[in-house]
């Protein structure tokens, strides 16, 4: 067992984990943070995206032990005082989800994109969403939601 | 995944000591290749030694005639480093096209070249620029480093520490990404270096990355896309799989090489 200690959604978490425990399963099974989804076995779908020190990573392709000392944010951690995050609101307004399975990963990826890319346009959003697969929407409304949230967040 | 013991190293010396504890231990950097491999039960190391947090391995250092990158530097850091992009824009461009943003935030240069996937991007940059790979034991030139499919000159438990890229006069990289994985179906890195024109091809060769000397001499005479007309590798030396047949890849290599050269003209 390996001792890990990290901040998850603002709270300090200390635990003993198996070396082979993946961060996605640690979040879901040990901490009950089931908003983080697991959609594939090949590191390609992005349903499991969380933020590690502010940047989007695939939690299914990272050991919990690798995240020791990190600041982690999951989909459960982005609302403030019971208010949805602007990206969550934009997804709702633009009908950017159907089954919703990809949505947590899409939103976490989107927040990173908006916070860390200059000059966002449709093309760059599509390029930055390379690591997130949606089987339902055809992406059109996801792109519209991200561009609209970006406008709101940047004022 | 099969069970294994996890160790975190805080220095290169400690990583070496931890590796040497057992024969079946392996380095872990970003894990973007190794963890998918473990998940598919394609490897069963007894112990992993994590070097991802060793600060001395995570840096970009721009010198007068070279750019030096630490082995555990994530692709996103290489892609986003303004000084590096001024010296070798083609290298920054290449790093920014690897996989997707989440992979680039974690995956590292050292892990990529140690793995030497025949479809990986960085091996093309190392070979075309004539990079030097420094390990905890010695320096290895890129020409000697990539020895075959998933094979390198690294010895058991040898640790790559940094990679030094000589600054070229001119360079460009173009790849045709597999639409699903983003790995290169064919990728060509062209460079005018102090040692002459060098062209490296990835994604296509049955033995992994290779230099294309016929293109090199054509470009040495006449640096233009037209000079490459009709020059492709022989399909016999290329991969053929569900992603693309060998003759298709041969064609792609020519097109990617022309596009790369055209970018610089
Ligand atoms: C969805 C997806 C898409 C991808 N697309 C691309 C792509 O388009 N192009 C591309 O080039 N790559 C692609 N990759 C691979 C990615 O670039 C990996 O990050 C990289 O190949 C390995 O780096 P790592 O740091 O993750 O290494 P790890 O997975 O940690 O290690 C890989 C191997 O290298 C060894 N190793 C690691 N560091 C060292 C060192 N310093 N010295 C000696 N040995 C070492 C390890 O023991 C292991 O055997 C993709 C990966 C994924 C998951
Ligand atoms: S679950 Fe598909 S990429 Fe992580
Ligand atoms: S909404 Fe169903 S997968 Fe995206």
| Closest CA to ligand 1's atom 49 | B115
Domains of chain B: 1-55 (3.30.43.10), 170-264 (3.30.390.50)
Give how far the C-alpha of residue A52 lies from the chain's centroid of Cα atoms, to the nearest Å.
10
Q: Do B4 and A22 touch (CB under 8 A)?
A: no
Average pLDDT, chain A: 97
Tell me if A58 sits within 8 A of A96, measured CB to CB.
no
Cβ neighbour number for residue B66 with a 10 Å cutoff: 17
Is the CB of B77 inside a 6 Å radius of any atom of ligand 1? no
Nearest to B108 by CA among B26, B32, B12: B32
A124 interface with B at CB cutoff 8 Å: no
Q: Do B106 and A131 touch (CB under 8 A)?
A: no
pLDDT digits (tens, 9 = 90+) for A40-70: 999 999 999 999 999 999 999 999 999 999 9
Is pLDDT of A155 > 80?
Answer: no
Task: Give residue B179's pLDDT.
Answer: 85
CATH, domain range A86-154: 1.10.150.120
Instruction: Tell me, yes or no, if the two domains A2-77 and A86-154 fold the same way.
Output: no
| Closest CA to ligand 2's atom 1 | A38
pLDDT digits (tens, 9 = 90+) for B98-132: 999 999 999 999 999 999 999 999 999 999 999 99
Q: Tell how far the Cα of B195 is from the centroid of ligand 1, in angstroms.
A: 29
Q: Tell how far the Cα of B70 is from the centroid of ligand 1, in angstroms.
A: 14
By DSSP bridging, strand A71-73 and strand A2-8 are: parallel
Question: In the structure, what pLDDT confidence band is assigned to residue A154 with cuts at 50, 70 and 90?
Answer: confident
Question: Which of B2, B5, B31 lies at the smallest CB-CB distance from A61?
Answer: B31
Between chain A and chain B, the number of residue pairs with CB atoms below 8 A apart is: 77
What does the domain layout of chain A look like in residue ranges? 2-77, 86-154
| Phi, psi torsion values for B245, nearest 5 degrees | -80, 160
pLDDT digits (tens, 9 = 90+) for A86-107: 999 999 999 999 999 999 999 9
Ligand closest in space to the Cα of A100: 3
Task: Give residue B234's pLDDT.
Answer: 96
Site to substitute for ligand 2 among A60, A104, A131, most atoms within 8 A of C-beta: A60
**CA dist., res. B93 & res. B91, Å (int):** 5
Task: Give residue B29's pLDDT.
Answer: 98
Task: Give residue B111's pLDDT.
Answer: 98
Q: How far apart are the first and last CA of chain A?
A: 47
Residue ranges in chain B modelled with pLDDT below 50: none
Ligand closest in space to the Cα of A133: 3
Indicate which atom in ligand 2 lies nearest the CA of residue A37: 1
CATH, domain range A2-77: 3.10.20.30
Q: Can you name the residues that pair with B5 across neighbouring β-strands?
A: B47
Q: Which residues of A touch B40 (CB under 8 A)?
A: 41
């Amino acid at each position: 067992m390996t001792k890990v200690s990290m901040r998850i959604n603002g709270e300090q978490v200390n635990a003993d984990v198996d070396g082979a425990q993946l961060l996605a399963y640690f979040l879901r099974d040990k901490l009950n943070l089931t908003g983080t989804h697991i959609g594939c076995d090949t590191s390609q779908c992005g349903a499991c995206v969380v933020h590690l020190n502010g940047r989007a990573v695939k939690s299914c392709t990272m050991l919990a032990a690798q995240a020791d000392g990190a600041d982690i944010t999951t989909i459960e951690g982005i609302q403030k005082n019971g208010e949805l995050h602007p990206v969550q609101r934009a997804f709702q307004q633009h009908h950017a989800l159907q089954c919703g399975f990809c949505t947590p990963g899409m939103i976490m990826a989107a927040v990173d994109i908006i916070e860390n890319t200059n000059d966002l346009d449709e093309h760059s959003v599509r390029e930055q969403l390379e690591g997130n697969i949606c089987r339902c929407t055809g992406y059109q409304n996801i792109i519209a939601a991200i561009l609209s949230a970006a406008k709101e967040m940047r004022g | 995944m099969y069970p294994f013991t996890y160790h975190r190293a805080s220095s290169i010396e400690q990583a070496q000591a931890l590796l040497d504890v057992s024969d079946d231990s392996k380095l872990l950097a970003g894990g973007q290749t190794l963890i998918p491999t473990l998940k598919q039960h394609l490897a069963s190391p007894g112990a992993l030694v994590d070097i991802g947090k060793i600060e001395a391995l995570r840096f970009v250092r721009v010198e007068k005639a070279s750019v030096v990158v630490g082995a555990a530097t994530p692709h996103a850091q290489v892609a986003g480093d303004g000084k590096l992009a001024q010296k070798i824009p083609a290298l920054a461009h290449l790093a920014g096209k690897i996989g997707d943003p989440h992979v680039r935030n974690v995956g590292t240069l050292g892990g990529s070249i140690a793995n030497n996937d025949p479809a990986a991007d960085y091996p093309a940059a190392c070979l075309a620029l004539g990079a030097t790979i420094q390990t905890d034991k010695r320096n290895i030139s890129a020409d000697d480093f990539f020895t075959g499919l998933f094979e390198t000159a690294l010895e058991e438990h040898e640790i790559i520490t940094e990679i030094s890229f000589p600054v070229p006069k001119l360079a460009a990289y173009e790849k045709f990404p597999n639409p699903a994985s983003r790995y290169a179906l064919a990728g060509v890195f062209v460079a005018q270096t102090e040692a002459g024109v060098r062209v490296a091809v990835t994604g296509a060769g049955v033995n992994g990355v290779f230099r294309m000397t016929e293109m090199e001499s054509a470009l040495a005479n006449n640096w233009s896309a037209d000079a490459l007309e009709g020059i492709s590798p022989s399909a016999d030396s290329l991969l053929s799989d569900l992603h693309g047949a060998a003759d298709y890849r041969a064609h792609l290599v020519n097109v990617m090489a022309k596009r790369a050269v055209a970018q610089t003209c």
